């Protein structure tokens, strides 16, 4: 089914204890699109770059089945740039710099050919821009998935709440869920967040996996136990891409299929962090994805016990 992905395209500069990279491909729309492209194509991308954005990366995304008609290229402007340093404990990150550049003027325009998209992902951008994407659609999508971050929770609360009313699914970090709902208990937080709009709340817990909470069910996806994590950047967006990619491919919004989508999301996220930037995502094979999905199953599967008494 048709899939629209809106978000950022960026130059990332990343330092981790295992090395550093400068001006590499990043941004929410990039990670989401590449991850989703392993499940369904075309992926209709909406985003903005400056004239400094390399033609080679656009060609690469097109080669993966990403439709770039919705990409705005602003002449004489610079692409969004972001730099971060991860500590020895990769759960801790310092932002080194944020140069919004083209993002300051970004006004998403949805090409006519995208306007009947059935599946929509709103990557992490300003909540009012996320809303503009949805408002330009000609047909109500089957599913709208949105991401957000603490910056918008703190400073753009009322805008964010307006956007949340449009979401079927919100994907959010555990600390952000706690902040948004003002409670340390994640289950309570999810229930409070549901009242703001989304009927599915997905809480990403980094190395502890992810939770999906709906009115009727709670599903716990484990994290894949990696000994070597090179760069956590893009893991959350790869999760979102794998999740929506699977849902769009199967066009099945049952609870059971959402659980599978959670595991495909976790699968893509687990690959993402194995190399810097999009390096690992770019070279994936279907066999690798399949094998890791199976490995996730083994990770949490246990047999029925014999009777207790």
Residues found near a second copy in the complex (CB under 8 A): 39, 88-91, 184-188, 191, 205, 207-209, 211, 213, 218-223, 225-229, 246, 250, 256, 259-260, 262-264, 286, 289-290, 293, 297, 299-306, 308-309
Q: Which is nearer to a second copy, 140 or 301 (CB)?
A: 301
Output the smallest distance, CB 280 to a second copy, in A.
18
Give the nearer residue to a second copy in terms of CB position, either 52 or 274.
274
Could you tell me if 141 and 118 are in contact, meaning their C-beta atoms sit under 8 angstroms apart? yes
Q: How far is the CB of 25 from a second copy (least distance, A)?
A: 25
Report the nearest approach of a second copy to the CB of residue 195 (Å): 15
Q: Which is nearer to a second copy, 107 or 304 (CB)?
A: 304
Minimum CB distance to a second copy, residue 86 (Å): 11
The least CB distance from residue 188 to a second copy, in Å, is 5
Instruction: For a second copy, give the closer residue by CB, 11 or 246.
Output: 246
* C-beta closer to a second copy: residue 159 or 207: 207
């Amino acid at each position: 089914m048709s899939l629209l992905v809106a978000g950022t395209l960026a130059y990332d500069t990343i330092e981790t204890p295992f090395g550093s990279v400068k001006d590499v491909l990043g941004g929410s729309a990039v990670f989401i699109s590449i991850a989703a492209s392993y499940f369904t194509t075309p992926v209709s991308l909406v985003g903005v770059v400056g004239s400094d954005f390399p033609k080679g990366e656009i060609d690469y995304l097109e080669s993966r089945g990403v439709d770039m008609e919705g990409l705005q290229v602003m002449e004489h402007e610079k692409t969004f740039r972001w730099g971060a340093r991860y500590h020895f404990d990769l759960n801790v990150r310092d932002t080194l710099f944020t140069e919004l550049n083209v993002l300051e003027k970004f006004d998403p325009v949805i090409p006519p050919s995208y306007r009947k998209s059935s599946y929509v992902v709103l990557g992490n951008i300003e909540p009012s821009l996320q809303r503009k994407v949805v408002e330009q659609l000609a047909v109500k999508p089957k599913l709208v998935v949105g991401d957000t971050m603490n910056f918008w929770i703190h400073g753009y609360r009322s805008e964010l709440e307006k956007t949340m009313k449009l979401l079927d699914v919100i994907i959010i970090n555990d600390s952000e869920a706690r902040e948004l709902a003002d409670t340390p208990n994640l289950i309570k937080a999810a229930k409070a967040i549901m009242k703001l709009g989304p009927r599915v709340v997905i809480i990403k817990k980094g190395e502890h996996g992810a939770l999906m909470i709906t009115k009727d069910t709670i599903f716990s996806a484990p994290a894949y136990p990696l000994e070597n994590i090179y760069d956590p950047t893009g893991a959350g967006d790869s999760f979102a891409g794998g999740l929506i990619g699977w849902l769009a491919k199967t066009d099945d919004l049952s609870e059971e299929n959402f659980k599978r989508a959670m595991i495909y999301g976790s699968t893509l996220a687990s690959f993402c962090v194995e190399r810097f930037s999009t390096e690992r995502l770019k070279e994936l094979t279907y066999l690798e994805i399949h094998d890791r999905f199976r490995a996730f199953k083994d990770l949490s599967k246990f047999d029925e016990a014999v009777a207790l008494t």
